[in-house]
Chain A
Amino acid sequence: MHIPDGFIPLSQAGIYYVVAIALAIRAFRWVFRELPENRIMFIPMLSAAIFALQAINIPIPWGTSGHILGSAMSSIILGSPYAGVAVITLVLSVQTFIFYDGGYTAFGANLLAMGIVASFTGYYAFLFLRKLTGKLYPSIFMSAWLSIVISAITVAIILAIAGTFPLKLGIMYMGLYHAVIGVVAEGVISTMIIKFLTKVRPDVLPLSISEEVKE
């Protein structure tokens, strides 16, 4: 879902850069000041894991494929959407500026959609669903699914504002593809990884996750 160069006019790309970088700075400030000490190693570990997992494109119908974002998963594991933003900023910086996966000019827009929107959507959807249903893993699955769908729709809106995609077609295709990717990749993988962590490192997970493990 990385927007390449040439899809967004420079004037708009500049605005996305400013907004995304401002929020990324706020996210790293949160990591420096508020992330609990026992979860600090999750920043490099999750960043490396998401980099590796994003390279695995999973085939879906209609001759297309997709990969996880990992924003919701990072936010849930670390207990704040700012953590997701920090992790995705690291991953996306390396993907863009070393591997050219995503355009140089589109970095701000990509970070906005895949890092910021996906992290905040995923994290607050998780808190809401967790409170509503009381079920941990279905809440993780649904919030991860929602995060990638909303992120894809954000990309479609960004590209419609840029005049690259027609709004309705963009939302329809991006929403449809990523709704499927959200089930087979984002939802399943996020749930599996958090379930794995509750088995191997329950001591470092936030209360919203570890409460159910104790039950």
Chain B
Amino acid sequence: MKWVHLLLIIIAISAVAPYVASKNPDGLQKTAELIGVQESSFPALMPGYSVGFLRGDISNVMAMIAGVLIVFTSGYAIIKLRK
């Protein structure tokens, strides 16, 4: 199997992630809820894994794919620096 095939599988997983992920709070959020702690919030580029100009699930799907590509490209740039 070639690396590009693995990357395509990863992109496919990221595209379905918004549909299959549980909406329940994660372990830390739930603990904070139980103890009664509030978090602060600041502006971000794509908060909540969503693209600002899109609505609904497609916004999350596009944000996830963008995220995968940004992470992959950053990692690839780093290994290219080594060479």
Contacts and interface: CB of A to CB of B under 8 A. Distances in A.
A93 to B, nearest CB: 8
Contacts, number: 182
A59 B75 contact: no
Contact of B30 (A31, A62, A101): A62
Interface string B1-33: 101001100110110011011111111111110
A52 B68 contact: yes
A104 interface: yes
B5 to A, nearest CB: 9
Interface in A38-63: 40-41, 43-45, 47-49, 51-53, 55-59, 62-63
Given A32-B82, A52-B14, A155 B28 contact: yes
B54 interface: no
Contacts of A100: 41-42, 44-48
Contacts of B39: 4-7, 103
B22 A65 contact: yes
Closest 8 CB pairs of A and B: A44-B75, A6-B40, A100-B44, A177-B27, A4-B39, A65-B22, A52-B14, A59-B22
By secondary structure, the B interface counts as helix
B3 A41 contact: yes
B71 A55 contact: no
Residue of B1, B26, B35 ringed by the most chain A CB atoms within 10 A? B26
B47 A65 contact: no
A7 B82 CA distance: 37
Interface in B58-83: 63-64, 67-76, 78-79, 81-82
23 contacts: A6-B40, A31-B78, A32-B81, A44-B71, A45-B7, A48-B75, A51-B68, A52-B68, A53-B13, A55-B21, A57-B26, A65-B22, A90-B71, A90-B75, A90-B78, A95-B67, A99-B47, A100-B41, A165-B32, A173-B30, A174-B27, A174-B28, A181-B27
Nearest to A67: B26
A173 B29 CA distance: 11
A64 B26 contact: yes
